[in-house]
Structure 1
Amino acid sequence: MSDEYQITVEAEAFFQEQYSSIENDQYAFAYRVTLRNSGRHPARLQTRHWIITDAHGQTQEVRGDGVIGEHPHLQPGEEYSYNSGSSLRTPYGTMHGSFQMEADDGTAFDAVIPLFHLIAPRILH
């Protein structure tokens, strides 16, 4: 698919100590995702697919409709950001995936969510 249909995705995670319980192997993370329509056609986010992997290699896949109850519609050059969260049983993990988009002309395409790290502080040296 050409660059006519392109959504650029950036994500950043933050450890949430106040919602974590290290004694119980519960590590909470918030993350902020920004989507930017870097293509030439308006497009709407339809669904999401996340792959979440902990430090033991345990993988969880999450699929769903929209993001945080919304289906953002992005004009060329427009951005949309949202915050959400995830929890792991280990102090380290990764997330990546894709958003399934639909351009106003009916063209369906994926916006890749690059791999990013979930890291509790003072865990890795």
Structure 2
Amino acid sequence: MNYEQVTEGIRVSVRPSFSLPYSVPKDGKFVFTYSIQMENQSEETAKLLFRHWHIHDSEGDDSEVDGEGVVGEQPTLAPGKSHSYESFCVLQSPVGFMEGYYTFIRPTGEEFCVPVPRFDLQAPWTVGGPAESDAIN
């Protein structure tokens, strides 16, 4: 499933997926990857400065992650340009979600926040996919 939101002319699209090869469900290790694309649909250049994530695990273990840029980069998006990256998170349960925001800056020095839409992290057997035992074996 894709999640998408446009704020201040920046379109953020997210596609999460469960990564069975890196997960060990019997040990409470559930790895989720997510692909993100940011597209500047405005008429002004914007540079990504910071990210903030809220990660919720259905086991009740919430965490916050803050940092500069994304995966070591602070891309500058000219009008009509986009930037994509992939990352991951590890949960202790097969169900959770992530949400957050990016802080961008315009050439004028104006900073603004672009929310990342909340996106679900769900192992396939939690949403009508194969049973857990089938997915693991």
Shorter-chain TM-score category?
over 0.9
- RMSD in angstroms over aligned alpha carbons? 1.6
Amino acid at match of 1:93: G
Larger mean CA deviation between 115-124 and 40-49 belongs to 115-124
Say which SS state the counterpart of residue 17 (structure 2) adopts.
strand
Shift of 1:124: 3.1
2:29 aligned residue: 26
Equivalent position to 1:53, from 53, 56, 76: 56
Runs (4 or more) in structure 1 with deviation over 6 Å come to: none
Q: Scaled by the length of structure 1, what TM-score is found?
A: 0.92
2:121 aligned residue: 118
Alignment of 1:1-125 (within 5 A): 5-125=8-128
Shift of 1:4: 9.7
- Residues 84-114 of structure 1 show CA distances to partners (whole Å, capped at 9, x for unaligned) of 1101001011011000000111110011100
- Size of the alignment, in residue pairs? 123
Amino acid at match of 2:80: G
- Greater relative CO, 1 or 2 (CA 8 Å, sep 6+): 1
- Residues 13-49 of structure 1 show CA distances to partners (whole Å, capped at 9, x for unaligned) of 1111011011111000110001011222101000100
More helix by share: 2
Say which SS state the counterpart of residue 80 (structure 2) adopts.
coil
8 Å CA contact 1:7, 1:39 repeated in 2: yes
The separation in 2 between residues aligned to 1:86 and 1:49, in whole angstroms, is 14
Amino acid at match of 1:67: V
Identical counterparts, % of pairs: 34
Q: Scaled by the length of structure 2, what TM-score is found?
A: 0.84
Say which SS state the counterpart of residue 70 (structure 2) adopts.
coil
